[in-house]
Amino acid sequence: MSELNDLYQEIILDHNKNPRNWGKIDLPSNFAEGFNPLCGDKIELYVNYNGDKIQDIKFEGNGCAISKASASVMTTMVKGKTKDEITKIYNEFHQIITEGCNHDHYIDENLEVFCGVKEYPGRVKCAALAWHTLNDILKRIDNNG
């Protein structure tokens, strides 16, 4: 079990060091900022949404390894996806960070690294920051709808 934890820690540190989809999008269709005052995590999220899908997504920000890794993993998972598909992933992610992992049901392997977050209540908001910021964007897309 501790070997698994080490593996997950390595994945998180890798995403923290080499975040995927890092940077800005010129003239994004949508933009949102997120802030987690408990830890000081900040994120700027750039999205190009059209044809009912996220065509491109990038982020920049400052924060702890968990917040950055979570944003990085999120961008790799939602690129090319529709809003409904993203909502499903978000619901699964949210369940994992608040309730932990129930291995009786399928868990996306990209999300498995966050199974241990529940053990650190102070980190739940760090892990959720990028997703909450993306939710702000998706809600606005809804309203324009």
Give the residue with the Cβ less far from Zn ion, 65 or 101.
65
Residue 12 bridge partners (DSSP): none
Q: Does 130 bind Zn ion (CB under 5 A)?
A: no
How distant, in Å, are the alpha carbons of 4, 13, 66 from that of 1?
Answer: 5, 18, 20
Least spacing, CB of residue 18 vs Zn ion, in Å = 18
3-class DSSP state of 42: strand
Cβ–Cβ contacts within 10 Å for residue 42, how many?
A: 17
Examine residue 68 and tell whether it contacts Zn ion (CB under 5 A): no
Query: Is residue 24 classed as helix, strand or coil in its secondary structure?
Result: coil
Number of amino acids touching Zn ion (CB under 5 A)? 5
Closest CA to 79 of 107, 112, 46, 109: 46
Q: Which is nearer to Zn ion, 25 or 66 (CB)?
A: 66
Of 27-35, 76-84, 105-113, 119-127: span binding Zn ion (CB under 5 A) = 119-127
Residue 20-59 contact track with Zn ion, rule CB under 5 A, x = bound:
-------------------x-x------------------
Would you state the structure tokens that stand for residue 134, as one six-digit string?
A: 């993306």
Residue 16, interface with Zn ion (CB under 5 A)? no
Binding positions for Zn ion, rule: CB under 5 A: 39, 41, 64, 67, 126
